[in-house]
Amino acid sequence: MFEQIYNHFNDIVAALLFVIGFSNLLFQKNLIKKIIGLNIMDVAIYLLLASQGFIRGRIAPILTDGSESAVTYINPIPSGLVLTGIVVSVSVTALMLSMTIRLYRKYRTLDLDEILMKIRQEREEED
């Protein structure tokens, strides 16, 4: 039991973080908190992905003391994928933040429900 937890510690933490981020993204009303939730969710996925390539007792795949056998090193592909993922996550976060700024300038609030209510009022006034 404890050994299982020890062996899969990264995965368990990743799952917990994912749930925290996911529920923040969906259920928070404040847009900034939503974006923080999104980032936590992404980080959880990257932790899971990075720990897939990690093998206990091995080192980063950089040739330093001349060992060319594969058993010395960890699997570098997941790390590469995490890098790609981080780039994606950064651009998505930037986009969300820019939209938040625009919404705040227009409606003077960060509460998504309030914004949607104001939009509904706008629409009713137009009709």
Partner 1 sequence: MDFIMNFPFFSIMICMLAALSSFMLGRKAAAIVAKGAIFITLVLSVVLTGWLHVRGESFVYMMGHFPAPWGNEIRAGELEGVMAIFTCIVALLSLTAGKTSIRTAVDKSKQNLFYLITCLMEASLLALIYTNDIFTGYVFIEINTIAGCGLIMIKNNGRAIASAVRYMVVSLVGSGLFLIGTTLLYSITGHLLMENINSSVAEIHASGNYSVTITIITALMTVGLSIKSGLFPFHLWIPDAYAVSIVPSSAMLSGMVSKGYIFLLIKLIYRVIGFDVFRSTGVFDLIFVAGIAAMIMGSVAAIRSGYLRRMTAYSSVSQIGYIFMGIGIANEAGAVAAIFHIITHGLTKSLLFMSAASFTGKKEDIKISDLKGLGHKHPVSAATFSAAALSIVGFPLFAGFIAKMLLANASFTEGWRMYGAICAIAVSTILNVVYFFRCIINLYAYGGFDGKEDETAVVATEEPQFAPTRYEKTIHGISVVLLALINLYIGFAPKLLTSILTKGLNVFD
Q: Which residues bind partner 1 (CB under 8 A)?
A: 18, 22, 25-26, 31, 34, 38, 41-42, 45, 48-49, 52, 77-78, 81, 84-85, 88, 91-92, 95-96, 99-100, 102-103, 106-107, 112, 115-116, 118-119, 122-123
Q: Which is nearer to partner 1, 64 or 84 (CB)?
A: 84
- Tell the smallest beta-carbon distance from residue 100 to partner 1 (Å): 8
Residue for token pair 């039991």? 1
Q: 55 near 74, Cβ under 8 Å?
A: yes
Q: Which is nearer to partner 1, 72 or 92 (CB)?
A: 92
d(CA 95, CA 98): 5
Distance of CA 15 to the CA centre of its chain: 12
- Tell the smallest beta-carbon distance from residue 49 to partner 1 (Å): 5
Q: Which is nearer to partner 1, 67 or 114 (CB)?
A: 114
Q: 114 near 107, Cβ under 8 Å?
A: yes
Q: Which helix (H) or strand (E) holds 125?
A: helix 112-126
- Tell the smallest beta-carbon distance from residue 64 to partner 1 (Å): 23
Strand, helix or coil for residue 127: coil
CA end-to-end distance (rounded Å), the chain: 64
Q: Which is nearer to partner 1, 54 or 60 (CB)?
A: 54
